[in-house]
A and B are shown apart, each in its own frame.
Chain A
Amino acid sequence: MANNNIEARVRKIIVDQLDVNDEQVTLNASFLDDLGADSLDTVELVMAFEEEFKDELKGEISETEAEKMRTVKDVIDFINKKLAGE
């Protein structure tokens, strides 16, 4: 349930920020290659994730962490790991 909720919130941010359809946002979709994002979009996306999940993340997303978020799944996995206390 919690996972679905996180996925839904991540997807909503991606749809809003990148102006794409929900169906395009598959788990393995790459922001740069599949969803039409440029480098500035990815910066704004990370800001939006950080704001939306501030309770779950309990801190900022570092640049190194942000660089690893290339697909939708990368983001969901990252948040789940933080939730699991990793």
Chain B
Amino acid sequence: MATIREINAFGRRVVVSGIGLVTPVGIGVGEVWSNLTAGESGISRVTSFAADGYPCRVAGEVKSFNAEDFTDHKSVKRNDLFALYAIAAAKLAVTDAEINLADVDRSRVGVIVGSGIGGMATISEQSRIFLSKGARYVSPFMVPALISNIASGIIAIELGVKGPNCGVVSACATGSHAIGEAFHWLKLGKADAVLAGGSEAAVTPLSFSGFCSMHAMSTKHNDIPETASRPFDATRDGFVMGDGSGVLLLETMEHAKARGAKIYCEIIGYSASCDAHHITAPDPNGDGLVTCYKELFAETGIAPTDVQYINAHGTSTQYNDKYETLAIKKFFGTHAHDLLVSSIKGATGHLLGATGAVEAAVCAKTIETGTIAPTINYAVPDTECDLNYVPNESLKAEVTYAISENMGFGGQNAVLMFKKILQ
């Protein structure tokens, strides 16, 4: 019986062949990538509710999103915004991949699009109805709208794809775990293609209240919102919440080649671990992430020095950025200082369950274009964060191996490795 490691080494190869993005810096991979590499910020004052009374009053909201461009009016009324973002991202990924689903075996197409939180606006609204009008008036659509696996279910209904389907829930690592699990489905032959990613619409009064109570959000930069998210900068003071979705079409190399697909890159590794330390605070030794790296490099057989780029979790909180830097230095040793390490959260804010998927897309675009999207709002160096964070301006660099890492509440860590297809 082959071990998973052997199957990964010898089994099917997995490629990224389509990208769908709905983010604070744009809709569609073209617009998002152009804004990220130009160093544009998508953070502004909260517009979807009156945030005046909250310590944090800024967020990365999705601008100019019209759900009816992607699904019908009835679906828009029934579903929570996080599911609508996911439908849009999935359809954009299908379009980007130029795949005609009528031409493929749809029982072999899976979906795994998770959410960190699920339908927060739905929970809030129905709680209000429950308290004001009574249990009798709670909507029959509440439960299907708020459960965080529903995005995958609706995407399957809309596209008629009947392969493996579920959600992944690991807070801010959701998108990375979803792509990693999809990678395993493809490796193991459970599907030929999988739409994988995450979605979030948590910019709501209730979630702001909760995250503000935790003192996790930025509060000192409300007057200049576009500078509030500043990963690895010494003056960072918390994360800025963002909304959106990222969905990638992953296919086996065979399947992609057979239909003549454009291939962004290959996914060659996925590892996951848990800090087993604290419900929200990262392990101060960085060991959870180091465990992921060890497993990732054992699985892929790649030398750490072969890696050029890490798309960091880089949330702009004091703890994350410090301990993530520590973990990179612990594992990569002297090569840590040769690595290019950037966080796009300065521009997008933290998309919670969607972030891993959007950042996996960034790794794919980095490899495709040889351009590194910068860490914006970087001004004051922190002695404990002393890597090359590609500050403020994008740079050109040939990248053969890129890593995306994300960590979620619960101490849940997931790391993915992407590889350029060498001709």
Contacts and interface: CB of A to CB of B under 8 A. Distances in A.
A associates with B = yes
B139 interface: yes
Given A19-B77, A47-B136, A60-B136, A40 B72 contact: no
A44 B74 contact: no
A43 interface: yes
Contact of B140 (A40, A51, A60): A40
A50 to B, nearest CB: 8
B74 A18 contact: yes
B136 A44 contact: no
A44 B72 contact: no
Contact of A19 (B74, B136, B141): B74
| B contacts with A: majority SS | helix
A44 B139 contact: yes
B73 interface: yes
B211 interface: no
A19 B137 contact: no
Chain A interface bracket (under 10, 10 to 19, 20 to 34, 35 or more): under 10
B327 to A, nearest CB: 46
Contacts of A43: 140
Interface string A58-71: 00100000000000
A40 to B, nearest CB: 4
Contact of B137 (A18, A36, A40, A47): A47
Interface string B45-80: 000000000000000000000000000111001000
Contacts of A44: 139-141
B140 A19 contact: no
B72 A19 contact: yes
Nearest to A45: B140
A60 B137 CA distance: 11
A19 B73 contact: yes
Contacts of A36: 74
Contacts of A51: 137
Q: Is the interface of A mostly helix, strand, loop or mixed?
A: helix
B369 to A, nearest CB: 42
A29 B386 CA distance: 70
Contacts of B137: 47, 51
Contacts of B140: 40, 43-44
A33 to B, nearest CB: 17
Contacts of A47: 136-137, 139
Contacts of B136: 47, 60
Contacts of B73: 19
A36 B74 CA distance: 10
Interface string A10-36: 000000001100000000000000001
Nearest to A18: B74
B67 to A, nearest CB: 13
Q: Which of B74, B139, B140 has the most CB of A within 10 A?
A: B140
A47 B138 CA distance: 9
A36 B72 CA distance: 13
Contacts of A60: 136
Nearest to A20: B74
A78 B144 CA distance: 30
Interface string B98-121: 000000000000000000000000
Contacts of B74: 18-19, 36
Contacts of B144: 40
A57 B14 CA distance: 61
Contacts of A18: 74
A40 B77 CA distance: 13
A39 to B, nearest CB: 8
A22 to B, nearest CB: 15
A19 B72 CA distance: 9
Nearest to B75: A19
Nearest to B74: A19
Contacts of B72: 19
Nearest to B133: A51
B128 to A, nearest CB: 15
Given A19-B72, A44-B139, A47-B137, 9 more contacts: A18-B74, A19-B73, A19-B74, A40-B140, A40-B141, A40-B144, A43-B140, A47-B139, A51-B137
Interface of B: 72-74, 77, 136-137, 139-141, 144
14 contacts: A18-B74, A19-B72, A19-B73, A19-B74, A36-B74, A40-B141, A40-B144, A43-B140, A44-B139, A44-B140, A47-B136, A47-B139, A51-B137, A60-B136
The 7 closest A-B pairs by CB, nearest first: A43-B140, A19-B74, A40-B140, A19-B73, A44-B140, A47-B137, A40-B141
